[in-house]
Amino acid sequence: MVTERNGLYVWVTWLSRLMAGDTKCHWGSWYKTRYTGYKKAPSDFQLTKWTIEHTQLLDTLIKQRGALNEATYIEDQNYFKVKRSSGLVIAGKPDLVTINSLDQCKVYDVKTGNPRQSDVVQIMLYMMCLPYSSPRYRGKKINGCLVYKDGTCTEVPEKAIDNDFRDQVTYFLNILQTPVSPDKIPSSSECQFCEIGSPDCGERINKEPIICDEPEITF
């Protein structure tokens, strides 16, 4: 049953996709910021496949970093909630955070799909929030690294978290925080990756558009 949250709440992955333009329908993230218990769209075997691949890739990375005598903090150990001055809570769970013998800190996120701009935004949000989440990371400069299943890595330096990025985060948080509901922008591609089911979004499109056979295109 859909219930209103006790305060505004946004998960890092919702925010990163919004900031990177992976989702054009601001309403979906706005709705999830305010409500929970909505009926989610059904998933398929691809989710199970992704889960297994992600687990294997992360396990390999953990062993690699541990072999270098780095302290490793994994998934739930990194779960955080940081509160904005307005009361809105940002929550996230980085895959892996390491601290080496020089007390240098690095946050990793593993990806099983093709690289996307939202991947970079996601890890930048982790880098920005972690120093506020735990004494373990407070005062530390945190670098980031995206690890893909083909072995490629994208390094994100701590200097990427500058005033421009913080201003951009503020802009999109303000969109989610406004009491006025944004317009829905349904499309087959947009709705495909939205977890809000039809009972709570009457404009959801669950099918690919039909290609008309007539009239024929003559150019």
- Please write the tens of the pLDDT for every residue from 45-92: 677 888 999 999 999 999 999 999 999 999 999 999 999 999 999 999
Cα–chain center distance at 157: 19
pLDDT of residue 206: 75
DSSP at 115: -
Instruction: Kindly report, residue by residue over 166-187, the tens digit of the pLDDT.
Output: 999 999 999 999 999 988 888 8
Is residue 139 in some structural domain? yes
Widest CA span in the chain: 69
- Domain residues for 152? 3-192
136: number of Cβ within 10 Å: 15
Instruction: Kindly report, residue by residue over 102-150, the tens digit of the pLDDT.
Output: 999 999 999 999 999 999 999 999 999 999 998 999 989 899 999 999 9
Instruction: Kindly report, residue by residue over 184-207, the tens digit of the pLDDT.
Output: 888 887 887 788 888 888 888 876
Is residue 204 in some structural domain? no
DSSP at 22: S
Is residue 212 in some structural domain? no
Between 198 and 5, name the one with better pLDDT: 5
Is residue 85 in some structural domain? yes
Q: Count how many domains the chain has.
A: 1
pTM for the full predicted model: 0.89
Is residue 205 in some structural domain? no
Sequence-ordered list of residues with C-beta below 8 angstroms from that of 88, at least 6 positions apart, any chain: 7, 8, 9, 10, 33, 173, 176, 177
Is residue 7 in some structural domain? yes
Question: The domain spanning residue 81 has which CATH number?
Answer: 3.90.320
Is residue 64 in some structural domain? yes
Is residue 213 in some structural domain? no
